[in-house]
Amino acid sequence: MEIETWYQRHFESLLQGRYIQLKHLEPLLDFYAKKFKIETVGHSVKGQKIVSITIGNGPEKVLAWSQMHGNESTTTKALFDFFAFISQEEDHQNTITDFLNNYTFCVIPILNPDGSAAYTRENANGIDLNRDAKKLSQPESKVLRDVFEAFQPDLCLNLHDQRTLYGLSSGKTATVSFLSPAANENRTVTKSRRVAMELISRMATVLSDMLPGHIGRYDDTFNENCVGDTFQSKSVPTILFEAGHYPGDYAREITRKYVFYAYLVLFGLYPEGEVDRIPYTSIPENEKNFRDIILRNVRFEGSDGEEDIALQYEEYLEGDKIAMVPVVDSVGKLSNYLGHKELDLEGAEILLNFHENVFEGEKVSTIVNKNANNQVFFKDSFDVF
pLDDT 10s per residue in the chain (385 long)? 799 999 999 999 999 999 999 999 999 999 999 999 999 999 999 999 999 999 999 999 999 999 999 999 999 999 999 999 999 989 899 999 999 999 999 999 999 999 999 999 999 999 999 999 999 999 999 999 999 999 999 999 999 999 999 999 999 999 999 999 999 999 999 999 999 999 999 999 999 999 999 999 999 999 999 999 999 999 999 999 999 999 999 999 999 999 999 999 999 999 887 788 999 999 999 999 999 999 999 999 988 899 999 999 999 999 888 999 999 999 999 999 999 999 999 999 999 999 989 999 999 999 999 998 778 887 876 666 5
- Give me the DSSP letters along 68-117: SSTT--HHHHHHHHHHHHHH-SSS-HHHHHHHHHHEEEEEES-S-HHHHH
pTM: 0.96
Query: CATH says 290-384 is which class?
Result: mainly beta
The pLDDT score that the predictor gives to residue 382 is 63
Burial string for 356-370 (b: 16+ CB within 10 Å, else e) reads: eebeeeeebeebbeb
CB atoms within 10 A of CB 279: 12
Side chain identity at 367, as an amino acid letter? I
**Could you tell me which residues come within 8 angstroms of residue 47 by beta carbon, excluding any fewer than 6 positions away?**
none
What are 310's strand-pairing partners? 294, 330
Order the strands of the 338-344 sheet from edge to edge. Answer: 338-344, 290-298, 307-318, 321-332, 383-384
Bridge partner list, 340: none
Do 160 and 79 meet the contact criterion of CB atoms below 8 Å apart?
A: no
Helix (H, G, I), strand (E, B) or coil at 170: coil
Cα(366)–Cα(378) distance, integer angstroms:
5
Give the integer Cα–Cα distance in Å for 189 and 184. 9
Domain locations along the chain: 3-282, 290-384
* Partners of residue 260 on adjacent β-strands: none
Dist CA 127 CA 131 (whole Å): 8
- Expressed in angstroms, the distance from the first to the final Cα of the chain is 31
Q: What is the dihedral of CA 150, 155, 160, 165, to 10 degrees?
A: 150
Using CA atoms, how far residue 298 sits from 100, 255, 311, 313, 349, in Å, is 58, 33, 13, 20, 6
Question: Which residue, among 298, 282, 384, has the nearest Cα to 339 in the 3D structure?
Answer: 298
Question: How many Cα atoms are found within 13 Å in the side-chain-facing hemisphere of 360?
Answer: 6
The strand order across the sheet containing 49-55 reads 37-43, 49-55, 103-108, 60-65, 155-161, 238-243, 176-179, 215-217
> How far apart (Å, rounded) are the C-alpha atoms in residues 227 and 213?
29
Exposed / middle / buried, residue 267 (Cβ in 10 Å: 0-12, 13-18, 19+): buried
Cβ 282 vs Cβ 178: under 8 Å: no
DSSP 215: E
Superfamily of 3-282 according to CATH: Zn peptidases (3.40.630.10)
Nearest to 347 by CA among 298, 385, 283: 298
Beta strands in the chain (DSSP E): 37-43, 49-55, 60-65, 103-108, 155-161, 176-179, 215-217, 238-243, 290-298, 307-318, 321-332, 338-344, 350-352, 366-369, 372-379, 383-384
